Chains A and B, each alone.
Chain A
Amino acid sequence: MSDIAATVASAAPEAADDDGIVKKKKVGVFFWIFAGWVALVVLASILAPLLGLQDPNNANFDAINQGPTTAHLLGTDDLGRDILSRVIYGARVSLIVGFGAMTIGMIFGGTLGMVAAYRRGAVDSFVSAVSYVMLAFPALVAVIAIVAFWGHDIWKITIIVGIASIPLVYRVVRAATLSYATREFVTAAKSQGATDIRILTRELLPNVLPAIISFFLIGVASVIILEGALAFLGLSVQPPTASWGNMISESRTYLSQNPWLALFPSLAMFLFLIALNLIGDSLRQVLDVQDSKL
């Protein structure tokens, strides 16, 4: 049996699927499980004060470095603080930085990208050139340097990472818009005298929105990783405020005594990231079908 022949063979039915067979494009059960997990994390971190959790910063020197117990479901850290509570409160940092920075990126990069793709010409050339220059700068190094000079409170980090994400968001949104900007429905709208703003918001935006949402989620995952790396290096939100990155960073001192300390924030972050990636990926696949229908 020739393996190369096999490849050709097994790829063929998939290609045939693209000819309008929609049934495979449904989102799977994992999609809903992970979507539920994201919703749970978001809700828990917003409603944290109402959940009757222990104070995440309340030290208890009678219960230091414990594994999971009934009093502390996920155990305690080196100061006897409740890990469950810290993981839930810590999610706030990742969520604020992740969604906040990508929102900044979307507002500026997304708008620029749509306008550049719609108007083309000198504006497009100029902004695209600037975005290339900015992309040449490695994001983490730029962010580390700026954070080092400017300070590391959560809002500053959100803004810096948000600005750093603009060129990439710009490129993605521009590419997505370009594929629609030359379609006939845009020309038709123009010939009916629609204003540019109307075309951008009513004709183009609904079409590129699915692609943007999918990219947004995957972008949030990358930003959370970036913030985690900053926190790990001690350059993000400062202790005692809990964040997943902080907790993982602090855990390394007590790795041999209390591995749980590293496990729970890592697990929370891993599952959250995989959920964002999976949801973003599934949305993109579902979106492809809509794309080919047009």
Chain B
Amino acid sequence: MAKFLFKRALALIAILFVVSIGTFFLIHLLPGDPTVTILGPNDTAHNKAVLLQQLGLNKPIWQQYWIWLGNVLTGNLGQSFITHATVTSTLAHAVPIDIELVIISQVLALGIAIPLAIASARRPNGLLDRVSTTSSFAMLALPPFIIIVFLVLIFSIHFHVFPGPGSYVPFTQNPWSNLHTMILPAIVLAVGSIVIYFRLLRGDLISTLQEEYITMARSKGLSDRYIMWRHALRPSSLSLLAAAGLNIGGLIAGAFVVEYLLAIPGLGYALVNSIQQVDYLTVQGITLFVAVVVVVLNFIIDFLFTILDPRIARE
């Protein structure tokens, strides 16, 4: 197991290395003068000189990369020439919002998907199963940007249940209002996740319930409820974990969309803003951060697999 983890960790480092090269060359392989790319054609000569200095642009490209990587590893992602904020501080402000959003949405998603999948798997092709399977198939064709528009239309504009765009309140300022503003976007993220988790879990449960060890569990006189949770759900929870890993990308995409529409100052909002302001250093910083988070989360999920699935641990 230690060897397995060691190999995994090596792969992680290799992938992170490639990710860092990718994000670095986003700016540097573009045609033209990188100072113009970063600052725009009309900036002052002074700013260009500062930038040249900061990025070491007069040195060979590989040396530039090592300087940049050294900075990144010490937490220095550069300072925006547009807002003059350091990229690190922008991240520090935005990231907690995304974490909150993801946590609320995943709690909602699992809280709905698991009971629904269990209820459907108990009676495959029953009424509930057919309704939920069909509607989950339809939901696959509902991207987050459509869902959020209609949720805003219905719940903010028509019924005034949830606040509309631009009413974000920081958690530290008023936790209750903050949660109130976060529910709508969390629901949008949850819908996509519910569809994935439900479809996966339902299929998994139906095949697990045909396993001989379920019959064996029944032959012990255990209740259906106990068998479902202890014997059937547990093997499936691993596939659920894998799905959660694959879902991270979709969650990020969804978060970008809802933050943009509702003007919630998370990562997506910051990213789109900095693109519109042609703030390339911030774009680069956010891209790097998100990519690293996704890679590391997937590594952690891999690691959890080895702990949770006794069958993998043996290898």
Contact = CB atoms under 8 A, between A and B. Distances in A.
Contacts of B27: 149
B22 A277 contact: no
B261 A252 contact: yes
B14 to A, nearest CB: 7
Interface stretch (B83-91, B180-188, B250-258): B250-258
Chain A interface size, as a band, is: 35 or more
A255 B157 contact: yes
A206 interface: no
Interface in B128-150: 137-138, 140-146, 149-150
A138 B291 contact: yes
B272 A270 contact: no
A292 interface: no
Interface stretch (A7-15, A73-81, A98-106, A107-115): A7-15
Contacts of A277: 137, 140-141
Contacts of A7: 121-124, 206, 209-210
Contacts of A256: 157
Contacts of B138: 274
Interface string A30-48: 0000000000000000000
Contacts of A138: 248-249, 252-253, 290-291, 294
Contacts, number: 156
A53 interface: no
A210 interface: no
B150 A262 contact: yes
B203 to A, nearest CB: 11
Nearest to A15: B210
Chain A interface, DSSP helix/strand/loop, else mixed: helix
A136 B157 CA distance: 39
Nearest to A139: B249
Contacts of A229: 143-145, 253, 256-257
Interface in B256-293: 256-257, 260-261, 268, 271-272, 275-276, 280, 283-284, 287, 290-291
A3 B145 contact: no
B152 interface: yes
B218 interface: yes
B298 A136 contact: yes
Given A4-B224, A4-B228, A148 B150 contact: no
B214 interface: yes
Nearest to B262: A252
A31 B140 CA distance: 17
Contact of A259 (B144, B153, B206, B290): B153
16 contacts: A6-B123, A7-B122, A7-B210, A11-B124, A133-B18, A136-B295, A138-B248, A138-B252, A138-B291, A141-B249, A225-B143, A229-B145, A232-B145, A234-B272, A255-B153, A278-B137
Given A2-B218, A10-B124, 12 more contacts: A3-B224, A4-B122, A4-B218, A7-B124, A7-B209, A8-B214, A10-B125, A136-B291, A144-B287, A245-B145, A273-B143, A277-B140
Interface of A: 2-8, 10-11, 132-133, 136-142, 144-146, 148-150, 221, 225-226, 228-229, 232-235, 245, 248-249, 251-252, 255-256, 259, 262, 266, 269-271, 273-274, 277-278, 281
Interface of B: 14-15, 18-19, 22-23, 26-27, 30, 37, 121-125, 137-138, 140-146, 149-150, 152-153, 157, 165, 206, 209-210, 214-215, 218, 224, 227-228, 232, 248-249, 252-253, 256-257, 260-261, 268, 271-272, 275-276, 280, 283-284, 287, 290-291, 294-295, 298
